[in-house]
Homo-oligomer: A and B are copies of this chain.
């Protein structure tokens, strides 16, 4: 197994001024090649800290990626430190000098001394061109380790990795095969899911590893396989997931990068069906789950944001009697909202939400987190009462997910009632 370490250099990342997205991108690319990232680190623009992390990485990794610290300004030290670390001097590199000269000439800008010095490279490095910027990348085969130093600007780094570094890695290392597959679930918590599938998990072969990746309302199951053949691993992982599927089928909404609302939207399109929404407590968030995805206009007609009771009455036909007897947070109201918006838009299905998202507005009978959802369909209305315990934003999110999941399970004929 080739072991990789990724190091970002720069005070701006260390102190949080910039969010580092480079290391995630690099590790995903390495993962595809079967190179295992074993450590990610960020250090500041301090010589002793940079030298220390290089020394540590050398002991742990077969290949070390370094981003940042190659710009022309004086707090960027990486090149000098690398030259010292590999016991060589900095010297002008002919091709690098030509590249940086052309880069400025092409843009009609003068080449300053500071920019000319970007062609100063440690004598032991292999020059790697940077087509997108002025700081070249460097490849070292020293101290029984491969070292790749790249600029920290994301689009420059990505271009260098894709065109130069990844092909060199494939040539240099004998790479194993790692395969991941992700199954995404909704409507079951991590611990319940774990209880449900623990017998299956315990009998997984040693070369397949399971991970739970939870976020609010969604739990992803990831199986990672290690072996020689990607094809075999894909098949083994697929078979392993197929074994557990009867237990979790109702919760599984998708795979890999699938998103719940998009999956449900595609189900609607496949049935030539349309959707509208009547939102009170979710206040537009439910609709936005659908409309953030391209292609939603194929099934999403629109709806009513019925925040005020007047709007519930005038637009959705909720009766004054329901609002005074049962209140806006009631089964009678949610039923009227769902049928009202379905009638109004002529959609095949509609979803409705009404509840107390919090933090204020609760009563002893209807505490914060009491929320009704409904699905109106051609032959009836299905309602659910939720009792949520999160913050306002969490309650809105979970209500929306639950409503979308209600529609998903109805479309799949997978509802208990």
Q: Does A310 contact B (CB under 8 A)?
A: yes
Q: For chain A residues 255-291, which have a beta carbon within 8 Å of chain B?
A: 276-277, 279, 282-288, 290-291
Closest chain B CB from A67 CB (angstroms):
13
- B308 close to A345 (CB less than 8 A): yes
Interface stretch among A80-88, A90-98, A391-399?
A: A391-399
- B387 close to A210 (CB less than 8 A): no
| Alpha-carbon gap, A134 to B194, bound state (A) | 15
Most buried by B among A49, A294, A305: A305
Most buried by B among A192, A286, A287, A310: A287
Q: A40-B42, A288-B284, A292-B396 are in contact. Are A344 and B359 (CB under 8 A)?
A: no
Q: Does A15 contact B (CB under 8 A)?
A: yes
- Which of B72, B153, B392 interacts with A292 by CB under 8 Å? B392
Q: How many copies does the complex hold?
A: 2
- A49 close to B39 (CB less than 8 A): yes
- Which of B114, B214, B292, B305 interacts with A277 by CB under 8 Å? B305
What residue of chain B has the Cβ atom nearest to residue A295's Cβ? B360
| Alpha-carbon gap, A2 to B357, bound state (A) | 41
Q: For chain A residues 362-417, which have a beta carbon within 8 Å of chain B?
A: 387, 389-394, 396
Closest chain B CB from A182 CB (angstroms):
8
- B291 close to A285 (CB less than 8 A): yes
Q: For chain A residues 22-78, which have a beta carbon within 8 Å of chain B?
A: 23-28, 31, 37-45, 49, 53, 56, 71-75
Please, what's the 1-or-0 string for A194-211, where 1 marks a CB less than 8 Å from any CB in chain B?
A: 110000010000000011
Interface residues of A (CB under 8 A from B): 11-21, 23-28, 31, 37-45, 49, 53, 56, 71-75, 103, 106-109, 112, 114-115, 132, 134, 153, 155, 180, 182, 189-192, 194-195, 201, 210-216, 222, 224, 276-277, 279, 282-288, 290-297, 300-308, 310-311, 314-315, 344-346, 358-361, 387, 389-394, 396
16 A-B pairs besides A11-B224, A16-B27, A132-B390 with CB distance below 8 A are A12-B211, A13-B40, A14-B39, A16-B31, A17-B180, A19-B24, A40-B42, A71-B190, A73-B191, A73-B194, A74-B194, A108-B387, A283-B290, A283-B291, A284-B291, A301-B308
